[in-house]
Chain A
């Protein structure tokens, strides 16, 4: 119970104060029961404001803190840490969201928004008044990591972990490691063949004692929690259990496969970029590009196949990022084989970002022609025998349709996410609208998922080229190291709690838990529910299922929630 509560209301530099009368909020709530001190701040999250709050907590002997600012998603941790530095139990701190859930939502009515903010802060004060100190659970961590996916990202991640002294297990579903790189042909910027990169990494991995590779392998079961997972895998016929501190998903992508007849796909002379790259790296005749025994003289590329489908139902709305640069690079590889080639690029926007712009420039210099098309007016593809005819509207010179005949049509196909249905069922990793894995926050926590200890990297998170994939996998390695090297992790204490005297052991809650954290134990006189604290995520799913009100989530106890509701209804009652 806190009865000397400090309340801090944030301006957020106008984000809140433009639409909520912050001073009025402060003045109104300063008389609430238990409030010993109230103040406003321009940026409560700023260093100086935090220092001031720490001083206030110490000087005024505050035993509870309420900060009315932004979403707890953003700053709960920031302010819990601040409370801790001030010697206060971090769970006697309550964050009240008066930005996302108030000022930003009610920009049209400052008066009403202010009233709402006051109610929300009152509820926060009531919750804090009924709070009890909680202590995080400390779990010792295992200095090993499980990497799922043995493509370039997974392999490089394993090496980075090995370098930092962390044992890496790599699980690859195929019979050999390397993933998409095995078949990608020559890659920029070093003009190496994809499989050469894999070979180099494999050589390095073989020298190391702290990397294990499992091929024909998959994860079949996961237990435990951050810092200490127990993972059952099968590799070939072998079944084994690995004890790891974190799991890194580098499950990669698969190239988009055009639908039959999509832009002529199905015709033997219509191939995807991936297939074309294979063709180029296998071309043995110098000075001539040979396809199906015939010399190729004219090539057309159509971009954004399976990407940027904004109008198509269930289409891939996203841009696949790597394909513009890859297509331009590939076009140069083709010129290298036969400089006399006629190459036509039918694109929507050329997205050769950064220095990849130079591939585009080089293509222009070497005579490639570029035509822009809109999603609404895709090029019209027809064929006569082996010849392909492409009708595209030229938007610059002629305004008319231009007919481009060619020997080979390359569909610049994008990336799509691997389905990983079985894996996702085991790990419960969140998936975004684009079907790639979802990070918590693209800038603050780009390789973390909402499940502690499970990281995502490479193209499993979204389309990337090789260097970007490797970069993200090494970032995941960093994150893993910063989690495991300490040797322990603290687990949130805001988890479900069984009120023993109320529990009747009816087992109704058993199946409400998506994490299987509830079991039943014999107490002296009866069987009651028991929560595994390392597994429980504190989601509260079990609470409403208990007919006896014997389950509650610490930090959100019945008395806290009820007092919040009461305080919000106070105004209504008074009226």
Chain B
């Protein structure tokens, strides 16, 4: 495609009309660009079962046209693309075309369909009229041209988008839904280490952004992660030793082993660097070691750390204080990452705290021996951060009377709402607007101000300053020194620690490869899909689900972990509530399984601009939405279906492989077809006749009679409009097969307790009486409407419409296919509803017009 900038003709829409026009123009020697919005050409016709009046198999007639179109030397097919704008440029046109991202390299894809089988996200199958789901990774239908998979992704799911670390929350949920917990653990590790820890103490912004949070309540994403972690740890109590494929001969020093230092080591080790972690204490983990057991059991934290240190290219140096950054350079480290975190500078304490019974929060959490003495004592925790809450809750667990004092309002407290609530619920008294110097009756005071960045290492270096500044790449003024975590951002949380470390590792890698740091984007996630788009997709009727309530230990003040892991069964139940907001969940199962390595999530939409002499608009029609005709209960009664659904049920690539009704899979024995639903009907704003519905209904009736020879079939009609060549004879054939015809309008449909349907109808030929008929399935022969997207590319140019919003033919008797814009033609049902033979003829006329236009132009007329 990139080779072409200029074509003789642009054909918009690859249905039967678009293909016919393209082939004709191509045969005449013109270069044609055919743009199709779906992933396959073929339009509506390829979806049909058989076609009237010959009862040819629709696939058999469409596929040769599709293959001929795609194989034509003069036709370039641009599928999964939309024409965004068509402008006049001197005596030709320019068209802006957007090729949507399919996330599959078409040159590599062989159409084997493995990705479809592996995909964990079900979406409604538009090619089966929503009767059954398809996967987010899909090939439109077996006869698709080109037969290449696409992955449907509307954007990033809000849960995934909001995670600072970029953990694919949606992917974890969709994998869990499919029972693929081990795969989920591995997916987690693609983005972040510390799976167990995060599953306990992460503030779970994903849950807050979950679309279900606006409904019954969020999907319990953190609890799902918790199950994923626990299940993995149960199977693998110790991690396997890991060695990256290519160990690079480059050394990186990481100073400090809190969550940021550990994570950075993990990310860099995965890339193959030789990483050395310098830790001044005797344990890895930094502040994570302070988190009390009731929140984060130590064995979990240890397991998470082992997962990281199981990389053979990570060396750990405990009890090692780095004294000089320059020395590290001399020792052969090509980059240094500072992740020294924060510490308390006791020099900053107010005088009132220089008493015996005052202890700072971090020391309190470190010195567990002192807890025995707390029993029945009055303990004041002074502070509003999470550390303060931990202290309070630890003290409560050792039977102290605890009050939490804070010098401002609750809103100013930095602790998470949940932590504060839990502390209060467990019995701590919350005293706001308190002053440190007015505390009374306190046996112990635990003082918790936010710790400050630990900058001790910078003393004497070029970076010595009161704060450590980093640029957008987590890089300090010294290019080979990067920093991440609390040492750069001040006291924060684990998500910030890991996300900055991930970023730092990304840029350290670029830096060490001498790649300009501006040249690559760290976070290339697609924008979050918007809530109203999700709503639209579900037609505002979200499937109901249930609210999640966490499972807590009955004994609230136990020293052991409070929150409990829920069962696999429950996990699956909750995970099925996921609305798959973004479409593809990025669970990466397709990536892992694709034998051709064709899947590439870095693919992005591409904009093309082409110059063309002429344009043929062949965007086809839209079906009437039967749910707008409420009296028929479409959408409410499962056994009321529309005709396109019926055609799918009868098609060779049919969804159920049998003619059955949707509610219970029963073979219907008494079927009704109602004609003129959404056409010849002013109430739905479409007074004209849709031309094809009588005939397609006669066709379906005959096919149903063939499939279900003993079934009764009644057609409720106003007039039978069998007007084309061989159509009247086709109508006769239907009558001879025993199909019953009732001239009369159906007033409404009610459903009985067996999901059968009572039709209230006016029997015109029998005195016009209102009668009731019971049927076990009803097919609504819906009308066809204009597809107004035909007009969208025309912004400055005005493409005239007729009063029914079809593209207007300026002189339909003499100049078929000619529109209000010179050089723009229209083919097929874009200009009025037509059956297939008429659409094909009209496409032929459009090709003649377009060819005549180009020839005339070239002759200089």
Contacts and interface: CB of A to CB of B under 8 A. Distances in A.
Given A13-B59, A163-B856, A475 B725 contact: no
A353 B145 contact: no
Contacts of B802: 355
Interface string B140-165: 00111111000000000000000000
A475 B813 contact: no
Interface stretch (B50-58, B84-92, B363-371, B383-391): B50-58
A447 to B, nearest CB: 7
Contacts of B836: 442-443
A319 B723 contact: yes
A457 to B, nearest CB: 9
Contact of A78 (B64, B721, B816, B842): B64
A34 interface: no
Interface in B813-853: 813-814, 816-817, 832-833, 836-838, 840-845, 847-849, 851-853
A144 to B, nearest CB: 16
A201 B743 CA distance: 44
A42 B720 contact: no
B71 interface: yes
A13 B653 contact: yes
Given A85-B71, A434-B725, A354 B833 contact: yes
Contact of B844 (A13, A319, A395, A474): A474
Given A43-B142, A351-B721, A468-B838, A358 B687 contact: yes
A48 B109 CA distance: 11
Q: Name the residue in A160, A443, A467, A468 with the highest tally of chain B Cβ atoms < 10 Å from its Cβ.
A: A443
Nearest to A353: B691
A574 interface: no
A42 B65 CA distance: 18
Given A43-B143, A353-B691, A156 B814 contact: yes
A160 B852 contact: yes
Nearest to A473: B845
Contacts of A163: 848, 851-853, 855-856
A444 B851 contact: no
Interface stretch (B292-300, B437-445, B726-734): B726-734
Contacts of A200: 814
Contacts of B23: 482
Contacts of B856: 163
B726 A318 contact: yes
Interface residues of A, number: 82
Interface string A486-497: 100000000000
Contacts of B853: 163
B847 A478 contact: yes
A189 interface: yes
B845 A47 contact: no
B688 interface: yes
A470 B814 contact: yes
B689 A357 contact: yes
Contacts of A354: 688-691, 832-833
Nearest to B686: A357
Contacts of B24: 478-479, 481-482
Interface string B704-722: 0000000000000001111
A297 interface: no
Contact of A43 (B63, B768, B816): B63
B811 interface: yes
A14 interface: yes
Contact of B64 (A318, A397, A444, A468): A444
A372 B720 CA distance: 12
A64 interface: no
Contact of A479 (B61, B844, B852): B844
A449 interface: no
Contacts of B811: 190
Given A319-B723, A397-B768, A355 B844 contact: no
A352 B68 contact: no
B373 interface: no
Interface string A284-323: 0000000000000000000000011010000001110100
A81 interface: yes
B832 A160 contact: no
Contacts of A441: 54, 61
6 contacts: A45-B143, A47-B67, A187-B813, A444-B65, A472-B841, A482-B23
Given A12-B60, A160-B852, 8 more contacts: A50-B71, A77-B64, A78-B68, A81-B68, A190-B811, A321-B724, A355-B832, A486-B29
The 9 tightest CB contacts between A and B, nearest first, are: A475-B844, A163-B852, A482-B27, A13-B652, A474-B845, A48-B147, A349-B719, A462-B725, A319-B728
